[in-house]
């Protein structure tokens, strides 16, 4: 708002053609010079006059709206009357009309005055669970200007597609990953016959990397070799080494992609740039994905827990998740390559929806660049096993009609539904759709943006926060870090003591999660054998691919007969619901069943801030998750409010989590107890705080610079307003060369 006003502060309702020429044609910071109108500007002036934006004396009569749709309409109208003009001619005319309008200046001034009055208003905010709300890693971004296409174009997603194809579709590579996943230290997760929540198969296995050192030693070298072979063939390079015209050898392309040419990278980049910009971008992106941790980062996140697709938004790109099956609808991944990677994996795991399948097939049918029937037959052949399996279950013959557009009627909804079930997770089909629809429309870039973080929101001293856990106080804004009451100063030590007691010693070390239903069967069996077990606290979010309602619907059929109902949080309205054995469900507040006859299920999001009445001797199953820190464990176990009296817990960990705990404690998986888990979560906490401290310090420094700049501007009126732009506006970094030229 403030920056918009700065653009209008000298508005005089006059369209300055010298300024228009300066913006459109000079591309310099030199002062604008007075000159006559060019032929192009004469035509543009006539177009603006005929549309009623200016008069013959260049007086501004009206201004276009700021919405993107309005700009598109403005550009269309002007272009119809000014067909020889460039995009920049029209864009700069649009900006000048708005910035020089005194009417718009008055509106912007009113908004700014309102903002100042809000700033002077005496108030402060109170945040509960402040350590979670303001944790490091979240930003507020307000983009400035219009979006632009990403540097590199389609190469930006071609490289990750090549890598994912090697990892997920090559039989030899998949077999090696499967073998690695069965090792005792569980360096990666590999679910071979992964079925999405919709029940659709015929797609990629689910792969998640767990140990970075293992990735570096056993996976990265093979990927570098295979990817370089593909790129060398694509650009018809016969030599595997990078050699300039003078015969100097800079090493192999494989060494460059592996990040082994640290002191030669600038010369290699200059050399590749002279050969082909596409070749340079391809090898730089290959290096980025393999040596800048992009691939490991993307494939170490948990699908539908940390990222996934929204069922509500119009956009088709992947977004962050706040917990199990809980998308953060208003959030996006700010890093374009990370967003591309998460989007590809999300569609490979979930599949295209029915509408996307239909649009993709229509596109292929009318695509002059493709041999449509040949490509369609290729997709069918790749999914042959899955199609045959489904056809046999439905007692139908193989769908031969699916092999040609002559027999595939795209207006027949029944056949589209079957095509969706047969092909929606096919790797090649997903790649075709994303390349032609999602990435061409959804991957945009903004040169400038305003960025806010926890310090921006809470750094003015008008925000107070509190939380039952305080491990990340060092990375919190100063006003948020609470001072404990004298009576609570020993809380951390008391909790560690409680969890260390023998009654909480039980640790289930080899939980199998090949499917959610098998895991729920294990929960039911444990509850049957342990009569005091009344609650499942899924703090580790190991139950995925299924809604809370479906979890409890399954549990009520399998769980011990002593329970009459299951208590859970509704996926739709976040209310506490109970489901009975006859599958009738209603709010818990209207239920009068004894709590000893109710079993409670808490998903990850509700493992903090939730208070439910449990039996005095209740025992809870608490799952552990990736990189879980001490605060998250403490928040989860404290759902049992009488834990220091007669209530107790049993900790559950997957094979991968157990391997991490055993590695840190130097022991075998079978000997893990509650004390070893406490050592592990404490270690994770220390690591997290150490990793965050430098980045948080940088963000704090940026905030201080912005605040001081605004204070000086208010005190010293002679300081140019434009100096605030330097302090407040962040420049986006989109260039592939600048982003990935130097290996970290």
- Mean pLDDT of all residues in 333-360: 95
pLDDT of residue 34: 66
pLDDT of residue 337: 96
Using the predicted structure, report yes or no on whether residue 721 has a pLDDT greater than 70.
no
pLDDT of residue 486: 76
Higher local confidence (pLDDT), 106 or 733: 106
In this structure, are residues 416 and 410 in contact, taking their beta carbons and an 8 Å threshold?
A: yes
Concatenated DSSP letters for 540-590? Answer: T----SS-HHHHHHHHHHHS-TT--EEEEE-TTT--EEEEETTS-EEEGGG
Per-residue pLDDT tens over the stretch 607-650 = 988 889 999 999 999 999 989 999 999 999 999 999 999 999 99
Using the predicted structure, report yes or no on whether residue 145 has a pLDDT greater than 90.
no
3-state SS record for 205-262: CEEEECCHHHHHHHHHHHHHHHHHHHHHHHCCCCCCEEECCCCCEEEEHHHHHCCCCC
In the chain, what are the domains?
2-120 (no CATH), 155-351 (no CATH), 354-423 (no CATH), 506-672 (3.40.50)
Tokens at 363, concatenated: 């596109």
pLDDT of residue 135: 81
Alpha carbons 275 and 295: distance in angstroms, whole number: 27
Using the predicted structure, report yes or no on whether residue 292 has a pLDDT greater than 60.
yes
Using the predicted structure, report yes or no on whether residue 201 has a pLDDT greater than 80.
yes
- Mean pLDDT of all residues in 156-182: 96
Tokens at 493, concatenated: 């030590």
- Of the pLDDT bands very low, low, confident and very high (cuts 50, 70, 90), residue 490 is confident
Residues 241, 246, 250, 251, CA torsion sign: positive
pLDDT of residue 118: 74
Alpha carbons 733 and 138: distance in angstroms, whole number: 18
Alpha carbons 418 and 333: distance in angstroms, whole number: 33
- Mean pLDDT of all residues in 232-241: 94
- Of the pLDDT bands very low, low, confident and very high (cuts 50, 70, 90), residue 207 is very high
Q: What mean pLDDT is reported for the chain?
A: 88
Using the predicted structure, report yes or no on whether residue 718 has a pLDDT greater than 70.
no
Using the predicted structure, report yes or no on whether residue 127 has a pLDDT greater than 70.
yes
Higher local confidence (pLDDT), 80 or 399: 399
Using the predicted structure, report yes or no on whether residue 190 has a pLDDT greater than 70.
yes
- Of the pLDDT bands very low, low, confident and very high (cuts 50, 70, 90), residue 87 is low
Using the predicted structure, report yes or no on whether residue 345 has a pLDDT greater than 90.
yes
- Mean pLDDT of all residues in 300-311: 92
pLDDT of residue 31: 56
Using the predicted structure, report yes or no on whether residue 376 has a pLDDT greater than 90.
yes
Using the predicted structure, report yes or no on whether residue 95 has a pLDDT greater than 80.
yes
pLDDT of residue 444: 81
> Which of 129-138, 202-211, 262-271, 662-671 is predicted least confidently?
129-138
Per-residue pLDDT tens over the stretch 449-474 = 888 888 887 766 677 877 777 788 78
Using the predicted structure, report yes or no on whether residue 284 has a pLDDT greater than 90.
yes
Using the predicted structure, report yes or no on whether residue 219 has a pLDDT greater than 90.
yes
Tokens at 277, concatenated: 């910009």
Alpha carbons 316 and 330: distance in angstroms, whole number: 13
Alpha carbons 675 and 661: distance in angstroms, whole number: 10
Tokens at 557, concatenated: 């059929």
- Mean pLDDT of all residues in 220-231: 97
Higher local confidence (pLDDT), 8 or 740: 740
Alpha carbons 137 and 94: distance in angstroms, whole number: 36
Using the predicted structure, report yes or no on whether residue 524 has a pLDDT greater than 70.
yes
If phi > 0 it is left, if psi is from -120 to 50 it is alpha, else beta; for residue 516 that is alpha
> Which of 66-75, 100-109, 148-157, 303-312 is predicted least confidently?
66-75
pLDDT of residue 84: 62
Higher local confidence (pLDDT), 10 or 6: 10
pLDDT of residue 463: 79
Per-residue pLDDT tens over the stretch 409-447 = 999 999 999 999 999 999 999 999 999 999 988 788 888
Using the predicted structure, report yes or no on whether residue 338 has a pLDDT greater than 80.
yes
Using the predicted structure, report yes or no on whether residue 28 has a pLDDT greater than 50.
no
In this structure, are residues 215 and 296 in contact, taking their beta carbons and an 8 Å threshold?
A: yes
Q: Quick one: DSSP state of residue 435?
A: I
High-pLDDT (> 70) share of the chain, %: 95
- Mean pLDDT of all residues in 373-384: 96
Could you tell me whether strands 585-587 and 598-602 are parallel, antiparallel, or unpaired per DSSP bridges? Answer: unpaired
Longest dimension (CA), the chain: 91
In this structure, are residues 198 and 304 in contact, taking their beta carbons and an 8 Å threshold?
A: no
Higher local confidence (pLDDT), 645 or 733: 645
What does pTM read for this prediction? Answer: 0.83
- Of the pLDDT bands very low, low, confident and very high (cuts 50, 70, 90), residue 26 is low
Using the predicted structure, report yes or no on whether residue 57 has a pLDDT greater than 80.
yes
**Buried (b) or exposed (e) across 239-273, using 16+ Cβ within 10 A?**
eeebeeeeeeebbbbbbbbbbebeebbeebbebbe
In this structure, are residues 653 and 626 in contact, taking their beta carbons and an 8 Å threshold?
A: no
Across the strands, what pairs with 567? 578, 600
Using the predicted structure, report yes or no on whether residue 29 has a pLDDT greater than 50.
no
């Amino acid at each position: 708002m403030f920056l918009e006003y700065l653009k209008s502060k000298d508005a005089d309702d006059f369209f300055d053609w010298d300024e228009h020429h300066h913006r459109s044609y000079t591309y310099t910071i030199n002062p604008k010079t007075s000159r006559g109108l060019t032929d192009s500007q004469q035509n543009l002036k006539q177009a603006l006059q005929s549309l009623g934006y200016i008069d013959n004396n260049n007086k501004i009569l009206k201004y276009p709206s700021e919405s993107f749709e309005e700009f598109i309409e403005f550009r269309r109208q002007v272009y119809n009357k000014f067909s020889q003009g460039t995009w920049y001619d029209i864009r700069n005319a649009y900006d000048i009309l708005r910035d020089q309008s005194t009417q718009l200046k008055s509106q912007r001034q009113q908004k700014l005055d309102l903002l100042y009055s809000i700033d002077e208003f005496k108030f402060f905010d109170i945040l509960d669970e402040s350590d979670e709300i303001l944790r490091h890693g979240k930003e507020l971004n307000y983009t400035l200007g219009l979006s632009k296409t990403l540097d590199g174009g389609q190469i930006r997603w071609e490289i990750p597609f090549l890598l994912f194809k090697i990892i997920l579709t090559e039989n030899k590579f998949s077999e090696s990953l499967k073998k690695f996943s069965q090792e005792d230290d569980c360096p990666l997760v590999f679910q071979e016959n992964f079925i999405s929540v919709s029940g659709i198969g015929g797609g990629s296995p689910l792969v998640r990397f767990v140990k970075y050192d293992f990735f570096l030693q056993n996976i990265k070298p093979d990927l570098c070799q295979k990817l370089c072979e593909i790129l060398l063939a694509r650009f018809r390079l016969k030599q595997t080494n990078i050699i300039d015209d003078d015969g100097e050898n800079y090493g192999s392309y494989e060494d460059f992609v592996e990040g082994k040419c640290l002191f030669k990278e600038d010369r290699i980049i200059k050399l590749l740039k002279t050969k082909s910009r596409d070749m340079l971008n391809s090898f730089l992106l290959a290096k980025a994905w393999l040596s800048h941790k992009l691939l490991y980062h993307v494939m170490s996140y948990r699908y539908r827990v940390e990222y996934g697709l929204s069922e509500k938004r119009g956009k088709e790109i992947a977004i962050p998740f706040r917990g199990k099956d809980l998308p953060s609808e208003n959030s996006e991944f700010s890093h374009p390559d990370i967003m591309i990677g998460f989007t590809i994996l999300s569609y490979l795991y979930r599949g295209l929806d029915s509408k996307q399948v239909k649009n993709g097939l229509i596109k292929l049918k009318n695509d002059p660049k493709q041999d449509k029937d040949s490509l369609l037959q290729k997709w069918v052949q790749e999914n042959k096993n899955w199609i045959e399996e489904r056809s046999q279950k439905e007692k139908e013959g193989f769908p031969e009609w699916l092999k040609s557009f002559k027999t595939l009627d795209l207006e027949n909804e029944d056949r589209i539904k079957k095509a969706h079930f047969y092909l929606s997770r096919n790797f090649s089909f997903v790649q075709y759709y994303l390349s032609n629809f999602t990435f061409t429309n959804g991957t945009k870039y903004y040169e400038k943006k305003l960025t806010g973080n926890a310090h921006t929101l809470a750094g003015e001293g008008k925000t107070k926060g509190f939380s039952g856990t305080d491990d990340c106080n060092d990375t919190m804004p100063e006003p948020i870090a609470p001072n404990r009451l004298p009576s609570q100063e020993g809380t951390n030590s008391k909790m560690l003591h409680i969890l260390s007691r023998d009654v909480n010693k039980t640790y289930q070390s080899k939980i199998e999660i090949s499917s959610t239903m098998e895991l729920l069967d294990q929960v039911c069996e444990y509850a049957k054998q342990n009569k005091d077990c009344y609650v499942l606290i899924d703090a580790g979010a190991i139950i995925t691919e299924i809604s809370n309602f479906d979890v409890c619907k399954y549990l009520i059929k399998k769980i011990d007969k002593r329970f009459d109902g299951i208590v859970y949080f509704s996926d739709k309205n976040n209310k506490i619901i109970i489901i009975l054995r006859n599958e009738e469900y209603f709010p818990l507040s209207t239920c009068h069943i004894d709590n000893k006859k109710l079993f409670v299920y808490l998903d990850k999001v509700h493992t903090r801030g939730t208070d439910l009445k449990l039996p005095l001797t209740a025992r809870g199953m608490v799952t552990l998750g990736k990189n879980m820190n001490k605060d998250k464990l403490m928040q989860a176990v404290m759902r049992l409010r009488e834990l220091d009296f007669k209530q107790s817990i049993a900790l559950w960990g997957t094979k991968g989590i157990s391997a991490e705990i055993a590695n840190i404690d130097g022991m075998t998986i079978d000997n893990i107890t509650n004390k070893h888990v406490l050592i592990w979560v404490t270690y994770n906490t220390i690591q997290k705080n150490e990793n965050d401290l430098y980045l948080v310090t940088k963000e704090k420094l940026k905030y201080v610079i912005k605040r001081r700049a605004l204070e000086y501007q208010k005190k010293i009126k002679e300081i140019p307003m434009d100096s605030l732009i330097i302090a407040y506006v962040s420049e986006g970094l989109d260039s592939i060369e600048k982003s990935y030229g130097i290996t970290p």
